[in-house]
Amino acid sequence: MNSHPSPRLLQAAGVVFAIGVAAIVALFVTPLVTDGGTAPTVVYLLTMCAPLGFVLGIVFALRSGRRSR
């Protein structure tokens, strides 16, 4: 088994988290720009990327951590 996880997991976590944060910002900015209109459903779905990216980052940290004896 590979003792060092691929940094691609950390990169993927960062990208997914950034997409989620951008969607959260868009969620709050949309009513200001559209005079009170709501954001499209896709924006609401993309906000779920933030916690998913956070969980992927935790998985990377746990997999890359050293085991104590």
pLDDT digits 0-9 by tens, 4-51: 667 899 999 999 999 999 999 999 999 999 888 888 999 999 999 999
Q: What is the pLDDT of residue 65?
A: 84
- Look at residue 24 and tell me if it is in a domain: yes
What value does the CA radius of gyration of the chain take, rounded to a whole number of Å? 17
- Look at residue 53 and tell me if it is in a domain: yes
The C-alpha torsion from 29 through 52 and 62 to 9, rounded to 10°, is -90
Residue numbers of the domain that contains 17: 7-63
Residue 32 · residue 62 · CB < 8 Å: no
d(CA 18, CA 68): 32
- Look at residue 69 and tell me if it is in a domain: no
Tally of domains in the chain: 1
- Look at residue 68 and tell me if it is in a domain: no
The distance from CA 69 to its chain's CA centroid, rounded to whole angstroms, is 33
Q: What is the pLDDT of residue 36?
A: 85
